[in-house]
Structure 1
């Protein structure tokens, strides 16, 4: 008895020791499994992405500076600073990485930092060389023009020829070695000429800048290429891969520890369960023995119910079913089998399923099917069979082998369904997914596949492939006036015309809206694409019969070629689209090939438009005020507010560059309201300062005039600043008024009742009807500067200016002449009765703090 108790105590002691060991192991595994920090990993990967972003932005700034889009190097300095800071932060490697991973990361980080330092040195050299080159490039043309403007002198023609060749090479980017050598030779010949006259001495001084341009242009170009191709990008990718590999290793190790932790916990849980099981085992055995008889009875009842259910399912199932013996002879079929195949049970019993064979599957197909049945006991797949009437149909067949008592296949059960309708639906869905529902042409999804196939064919045959992007001109006008149904009819007719022009191997796709894309694989010559494009434009330009109207709709197209313009579908489509927009800009109903010039211009416009979105919030927009004076006395009687954009990098940008962009992207409404509020605020400030203010005119765009509730907005702004309406004038173009004369007349009547003066700007350059002009309640006309600048040169514009003045006076309108720049123009206009002058002769556009002096004087002396 004592020995038994001692054995129990020893067993209990060992059990406690084992539990303590397992508990300690669980604690150690718990802390080891949680070492990998997701927050640290996210922080480090974010640093890697930031480093890559800063490096790409630095390259973009270098290229933009080289292209002349940037006037300073602040952006480069900013991203270099960010790269240094991010590189220092990357050196703090997460501690949970193993020693090998940490050493690899540290080595790659040092290599990346060293490469970035080399790149920084190249950027510094680029900035110095580019500054010298830019200064000489800007100074030399003006200085040379001034030198050549004087009297003739020896070597003048040789100097002029050299300067033209040098400037032409610089503007076109033609810096080939042969051209530079020729320029250096010409330069040396000019320098070898003795300087005998002051002009020759001045020429030698200018040739110093020419030498700087010739010497630094290749250097700057080479530095840009070196900077863009710096190895920092590749080293960053290697660093990222190394870190991700090390992170994956750490995660795998943590996962291993968690697995061990889970296994040990399960062992402890199993041990606890085992103890409980031992306690309850005897009791459950008794209960099991008691319930065994009831279970057997219930099992027999369930088997009988299942057999009855199986019989019902076999008889009433919608799927066809066959049961065969071990030799594949049919021993039973259900009614659905007869319905699908047309055979009666008597016609197939005792025969093999080969009675349904359609002949579409090969012997190898059936051999593989039986091999699968023998190995796994099951097979399923799509198969084509034949009905009794000879019709072939697809079915989805599942075969299961039922083993006998010896384990061999005793029977086979086949279950199948007719999938004819599903196959037809799949075909319809596939066609709808890859074709345009309106025209039946391939859609954008199928277009990329056709371009990919065309690229493969062109690569194998070493021929060109063309992608033509076509857009119907002014298609929106048809939709807006005749309705979308007529527009859809036009698109269908256009698609049919395009198909008749193209070859069978070509592809015409509808990109969306009124945009079409043509893929021309395996072209012999570049001009073949132009020939096909011209045929397409000619066919599309023929008259259409739409809703009882015969309408002519032209199209514009852009062409991109493989391999000259790209080797991917996205690149070719993008460049063809850019070429198409260039064709629209140059008059429509034509086509253009893609060129690098188009890409560069598009990039510049895109960057400018992107910066324009934040110009108002960054307070980069300014208003300058140009004075208006009385034509007889020269007294200041008004001003016009002109918007300017002080770009943070490119400096002052002219309105003709950013105003059209603002009108296209919808910013012009916000800009226009800002201008009115700014003018009113300035008027209020001048009044509060005790100045005698004058009315200020603000230009109103077509978008603002049409879309905004202009009278309500003006009333609100005038009330906010407590101004009388006589201090604000509006200037509208005649084309704007004629777009919707009835709406314009109603709007002008409201403004007149508000006592707000309205002038028609740029009069004579648009189109208008004098009968409508008499109905518009405006107070003045502005003669466009194009007529004023011709005064003094014997031409028709002089008579037009005087005629406009006479006509305006007949209509009781005042006349304002803009662009008056000399006394000859002022005298002519004054003699013919012009009422007000505006131009450089009386004052340039100036900031508000400069305009204050004019308000104080309230009189100009006639010359500014």
Structure 2
């Protein structure tokens, strides 16, 4: 197969489709696989099945895909006929128009067999339409109203497999009625042999089809004549007959017209010699549209003087009875005969009597006008008065004539009219007798007719075949060929006229057709010339003359090689001779040396010679070479890229894949092509978007799953582009796929470390917080929930005496027993060391909780075999009941912890329910809430600062601002006592704004005084994140203080961070735009873990003190801390450890590459003055000395 174009079709195919007339005829089976291509296209494919219509959309002009793609898909889905016209883009700035059509094929049993269709180059048609609007409209109407029947028949049997809708108009049968029947069943018995012989001739010789005329039975039983061009379809490989495709045209009217025209011409030719009548036609308004020459002879009127005028306008006396009757008849649309009226012959100054007959003309029920004949009856009238005997003898001849015959007096008034006159013109005798013939002429013909009339009287007394137009009684126009003789001695005119209206119209139609064809040949995009069989040029359009470089007129009549000597021994002449001799069309491309141009040439033989179309394709060939080189470079890049590459069409079918993707998915390329994208990517963010109208046009860095051929799922990262039409419909998808399976596995391991205890596998503090929050939400206000804080009694003694390994085994056994004695919906977690937490719904409140604890005590009371020793474990349990002892997970855990210590104080190995001292706590809370209203006004708040040290340089690099409240009665109120109340009462936003402003202001003062650039960290609450003024408050604090943005760090707790993820991400991005740093505080205590961190624009991760402090006693926490630090560094975060209180902890943090630390080891939180003194004291040097 040839190299494919971008759309998947061979470049030569696009070349042919772009440069020629009907180029592509195709047929598919029921599965959409191509089984037939016309020979010119089939030669471009190794197998017709390689041809895909869906590939053609890539070559469409972008502005047309929006319109064509839905129409095509809908038509195919509904299995109906379609025809569309659109443009194909060959290169920038150059397009070609094509018309694509297709029709479903059906078997005799009604089974769907596939489609048959064609793609036709209509560029020349569009060019002609652009230049000649009138010609374009006429051509369009002819095309759209064609009554041709297109049909497909089974081989040998002739059974209809398909019939176009025109079957109804032509044969009276619905297409569905024809399906399954044989074409031979409808043939006239005398014509069946002729049709079978033509089919047999094609099948044996393979020659082109020939037009055959025969008769076919209409549904109502009568026979019509048709002209059929049929083609036997053969399989391009096996030669098997696939059926016959026929184009049939109803030629009944044409045959009848030809026969009628032949008879009419013979009749009128003989009658014209005898008759002096004149013929006329009028339009619906009574205006002459045609008059025969007889009118001019009679009334001395040229056709241009009559045409466009009414008969009355040309009459001498409009009140004549004949004219009045004429007006009545045409108003009633009735035929009239022998209406006589007087016509004033201006050239003679006399009045002539005219007699006219006419009949209305209708077409499809629409009134078009009148046509008829007229004659001069002046002499007849005079002769009737003077020679009655002679008139009587002649009456029989006149009345029996089929031509108009009239006797007119010297005034041009009708004296005598025959029946033909009345029949043709539609007048009654009284309408014409005594009337001047001029009154019946088309006004434009009056002057010409009068001139002829005058010539009769002054020169030759006979006029033959004078054509003029007469107005019929109905108002129509009749074209008459008049023969008039002037009898000077009698002062009469003898006139005969033949109705030549039909011949006139036929001649006019032929003239129009000839002019139209010449206009088309001049306006087409191709150069064109025609040669007769003597090789002389009979027609050359201007494009041909321009190409050759000779005047067009000088080429007409010349022998081809005389006009163009270089052609004599050229390849062009070889093809021209072959077409002339063999009668077969030729299509070829060749190089024309004189012009230095490549030409695409099409030669069509005919009985008179050959017709040649050609055009310059030099630029196209150069563009094709450039395109092929570009495609080859692109293919090499795709083949070498390590990422997977896949191309899909609008339906999601895979069109192409590179080796990297095939290796990734375990398929060969030929196995992937034709499959649906969902087979390869069952989970993909761009798969659905392809089918969403108006969906996204690109996907970047989105995760998906590739399903390997062996069933394995691989995690991948997808970057894709979706091409859409103007309506937003997906046309194709191009995607690059990167395997991230190993990275996902590593993330999964980290996620497990973040949410589960690495020793026991139980949920850790973060996961406990998440599940407890969910449990409380489900419980609502009615279902009690017990939160139990479990601490093993004297575990430290066991751990110290037996070692860490037996201690870890003991903790695992305790975890197993706790987990095994709880319900599936209950939660058990390890917080660290020997501390466990159980959360369980208790429908009976304290009673249910006590039963659970006793069951756990019983499980723990059984001896444990650890390290070869029998160990007995006891525990102390504190219980807080929701909602009695708290409605938040923090309060419940805090109260359960308090109750646990009470249980230990009561003697260990027991449990204790939390008992709240309600009156004291309530009074204190009310006092705090009341005082908060005025605390800001009274300047009762102040900031303490705790230093942060860089663990690499051991220098102070920053400080955390911590809010303190110095109450006038309560003294220093801890933040945990008033901050939750401030959040609930709605004071936290105002307090937070004050903290931001004060911290920035004091940090700037410290920088100016000490010269140290210390980053100040300020805590935010979740409510502040939801405050729309937060970003403005930060911007204002920085502006008023003059503190550089990079020296301000805002902290948000891990649990608050994920309270509303989308909102927090948006606010953080706007804060980040100010140039400040962002940190997550208390990491390891919330319930987000690693799942959300990648979504936030963070800079710092602060490890909670609960993870840092127990390093001396718990090796598992050491691994967790180390994993968190490695993870944070991989995400680009720096890490700060909180709550550092020992040198050992400090050493550990240094070993695991922690960046900064803060805690009591360095300094407690200090007022600003004391903090200044700390900076000057050198206290950090003492810590360095201890570490050494």
Shorter-chain TM band: 0.3 to 0.5
Q: What is the TM-score normalised by the length of structure 1?
A: 0.32
Q: With structure 2 as the length reference, what TM-score do the two structures score?
A: 0.24
- The answer to which structure has the higher helix fraction is 1
